[in-house]
Copies of this chain bind each other. A is one copy, B any other.
Amino acid sequence: MPEAIVVVSAHSADFVWRAAGAIATAVERGAEAHVVALSYGERGESGELWKEPGQTEERVKEIRRGEAQAAAEALGASFRSLDLGDYPLVMDAAAVDRLTDLLRELAPRLVLTHAALDPFNPDHGVAHDATVQARQLASGAGVASAFVTIPPPELLTFEPHQPELCGFVPTTFLDITPVWEKKVAAMDAMGAQAYLKQYYSERAEHRANHARRISGRGGIRYAEAFQRQLPVVVDAL
């Protein structure tokens, strides 16, 4: 059975800017990748769509879903949304249960999500906390339980828009040079936000510069940054 990775994001577009390279890399190596958007971001991040006269929430969601699906396909990943609403995203017990069940079902080796803090967004921290809780409920405490558990997935947070103000300190730079064209394709699928494409392309080059300086590996042209939340267990340093 191929291993799986799951990306949990508050809104339907987050995974593209922040983790498209990680997703494409995993898929190229034979993993299944699943994007789980807790909402479509239909209220807080779809203002351009709402400028159209007579716009409806259902139509906005549909457009957002279409874009996200196309982006996920460009990366080789599945996409689904729990459609829980945004601004604010509220994760009640039932919503956490749905996310927990999804993790149990997909049994990923690796989960990616938002950083715990984001002073610029009311939903990102909620998504983080819910993911942490669902991961714990799905994998138990490392002892035998009354319920089915999965092996505890690794947990990393992807890079927020203003990293220092979100307490984000990279622990891991991923070389995404080999899959860069796929990330470009995913970004292209996201509609009109041309500036974001430029911003995150430059950001990927900057992170590559950092990765080259840290490692001396000259061939890295594009990179993504992640922060590992728990120790990694290895066979060699």
**Binary flags per residue of A93-132, CB closer than 8 Å to B gives 1, else 0:** 1001000000000000010100000011110000000001
Q: Within the complex, what minimum Cβ distance (angstroms) separates A112 from chain B?
A: 8
Assembly CA distance A202 to B207 (angstroms): 13
Give the residue of B119, B146, B236 whose beta carbon is less than 8 angstroms from that of A42. Answer: B146
Cross-chain contact B233 with A217 (CB below 8 angstroms)? yes
Residues of B within 8 A of A170 (CB): 164-165, 231
Cross-chain contact A146 with B233 (CB below 8 angstroms)? no
- Residue A226 interfacial (CB < 8 Å): yes
Interface size on A, as a range, is 35 or more
Q: Taking A143-B45, A165-B230, A172-B231 as contacts, is the C-beta distance between A120 and B237 under 8 angstroms?
A: no
Residues of B within 8 A of A163 (CB): 163-164
Give the residue of B145, B164, B217 whose beta carbon is less than 8 angstroms from that of A45. Answer: B145
Cross-chain contact A133 with B137 (CB below 8 angstroms)? no
Assembly CA distance A234 to B177 (angstroms): 12
Q: Within the complex, what minimum Cβ distance (angstroms) separates A97 from chain B?
A: 9
Cross-chain contact A119 with B230 (CB below 8 angstroms)? yes
Assembly CA distance A122 to B132 (angstroms): 8
Cross-chain contact A110 with B237 (CB below 8 angstroms)? yes
Residues of B within 8 A of A164 (CB): 163-164, 168-170
Assembly CA distance A51 to B147 (angstroms): 11
Cross-chain contact B165 with A234 (CB below 8 angstroms)? no
A sample of 10 inter-chain contacts (CB < 8 A) reads: A43-B147, A45-B143, A87-B147, A88-B137, A121-B136, A142-B214, A152-B215, A170-B231, A171-B232, A174-B234
Additional A-B contact list (5), CB under 8 Å, known A47-B144, A50-B145: A26-B236, A44-B143, A121-B141, A142-B212, A163-B163
